[in-house]
Amino acid sequence: MTTTTHEWVDDQATFEAVLEELSKVDRYAIDTEFHRERTYFPALALVQIAWDDRIVLIDPLAVDVVAMTGLFASEVEAVFHAAQQDLDVLTHAVGAVPTRFFDTQIAGGFLGYGTPSLVSLLSAELGVTPAKGDRLTDWLRRPLTEAQRSYAASDVAHLLEVRERLVSRLDDRGRLGWVAEACDELAARNSVRSEPEQAWLRLKDVRSLKPRGRAVAQEVAAWRERRAMALDIPVRQVLPDLAVLGVSQRQPRDERDLTQARGVDGRHTKGVVATELLAAVERGLNNEPPQAPSGGDELGRDLRPAVALVSAWVSQMARDEAIDTALLATRADLVTLLSGDPESRLASGWRAELLGDGIRALVEGRSALTFDRSGGLRLVPIDAVG
């Protein structure tokens, strides 16, 4: 295996010297390794950074990564690939994320790549095939092997170069602003932390609950979330989803009744857990039931067929424009637009410019879809159909 040259940083003075040097460059590539299988919060295990001709691997188990706050607040651009999880882990570990960042996966999505992996992007743009690594490796182990370190370094070794390739092509197509907008959307999603009171909405089959059951589910799921945070363990180890639904349906008033709820076992029917769980049930029974979660079909019957019709045209537009369909418009985007929500992503910006007139023409019956001779869909005025 080819070794990717890098430096290992595990003392605070060297780490801060690296940060000082980074504050003087235009941009740097960054990636993280972390685990979250056994914890509530992601455990940061490694930070990889590349700039100029240097790659450093920073050991967050040995240095205080909060020192990165100043760099993140600066105008120096951070270059990620598939930034969502990196932003999540950095938010928890550092307490901040880069003010300016560029996501090569998002950028690739505007150039016909779909949702590209780093390997596929490097191969297509640079002809580079990174060394394969062990996807299930233990990044919290110390010392890391040379193979682990080299594999981690390879994740950032070519990011700046591939960014330059993508930026050049995006600039030619007038899409750099679109990428910036999509990165801003990603940053905005990351900044909105889910409140424990909203945790019940993530439960499968929660729509089957009656109003009083929804109120109990909201309180029990919120209690579960807070306890998982306090103990830093996965929520399923506090109480599995099946038990949350079972308790919400049965609404037990005492420990004996609690044992009859589906999904509940001996760990949940005694001691502090049982006391707190029953208290959550009681709070739910005394609360006003929350509204049932929307399932994306809250449109009037007259507009529901429009979702499928518009989705077909959006998929064709994604192919024609070489844009990842998920970046262009999701089903939820279409529903919010058709329901008249002014906050819909399709109501403004580049998406509105690209899709707005066509969607309105379809929904208002001024245009129709027909097959072209190559098997694609084409939007045509109704007069042309007859």
Average pLDDT over residues 32-57: 96
Q: Which two tokens stand for residue 162?
A: 């591939």
Measured CA to CA, the distance from residue 6 to residue 150 in angstroms comes to 8
Measured CA to CA, the distance from residue 316 to residue 265 in angstroms comes to 51
Measured CA to CA, the distance from residue 82 to residue 116 in angstroms comes to 9
Task: Give the pLDDT score at 193.
Answer: 65
Nearest to 183 by CA among 117, 99, 86, 103: 103
> 182-209 pLDDT, tens per residue?
999 999 887 666 789 999 999 988 888 9
Average pLDDT in the chain = 92
Which 3-state string (H, E, C) describes 298-329? Answer: CCCCCCHHHHHHHHHHHHHHHHHHCCCHHHHC
> 287-308 pLDDT, tens per residue?
999 988 765 455 666 677 888 8
**From 23-27, 248-252, 382-386, the region with the lowest mean pLDDT:** 382-386
Nearest to 156 by CA among 22, 8, 29: 29
Task: Give the pLDDT score at 374.
Answer: 81
**From 26-35, 126-135, 235-244, 333-342, the region with the lowest mean pLDDT:** 126-135
Nearest to 249 by CA among 285, 275, 283: 285
Q: How far is CA 367 from CA 27, 174, 212, in A?
A: 46, 28, 46
Measured CA to CA, the distance from residue 298 to residue 288 in angstroms comes to 22
Of the pLDDT bands very low, low, confident and very high (cuts 50, 70, 90), residue 1 is: very low
Nearest to 362 by CA among 318, 322, 321, 312: 312
Average pLDDT over residues 147-153: 94
Higher pLDDT, 296 or 366: 366
Higher pLDDT, 191 or 339: 339
Measured CA to CA, the distance from residue 29 to residue 18 in angstroms comes to 13
Nearest to 202 by CA among 186, 227, 225: 225
Please, where are the H alpha helices in the chain?
A: 12-22, 69-73, 83-93, 104-109, 118-126, 146-157, 159-172, 176-191, 211-231, 235-238, 241-250, 255-258, 271-286, 304-321, 325-328, 331-338, 349-363, 382-385
Nearest to 58 by CA among 10, 97, 96: 10
Quick one: residue 181, left, alpha or beta (phi over 0 = left, psi -120 to 50 = alpha)?
alpha
Of the pLDDT bands very low, low, confident and very high (cuts 50, 70, 90), residue 2 is: low
DSSP letter at 80? E
Give 14-49 as a DSSP string.
HHHHHHHHHTTSSEEEEEEEEE-SS-SS-EEEEEEE
Number of residues written out for the chain? 386
pTM exceeds 0.85:
yes
Residues in CB range of 294: below 8 A, 6 or more apart: none
Task: Give the pLDDT score at 148.
Answer: 94
Q: What letter represents residue 160's amino acid?
A: L
Nearest to 122 by CA among 110, 111, 112, 108: 108
Measured CA to CA, the distance from residue 240 to residue 180 in angstroms comes to 39
pLDDT of 11 over the 90 cut: yes
Nearest to 186 by CA among 131, 286, 109, 240: 109
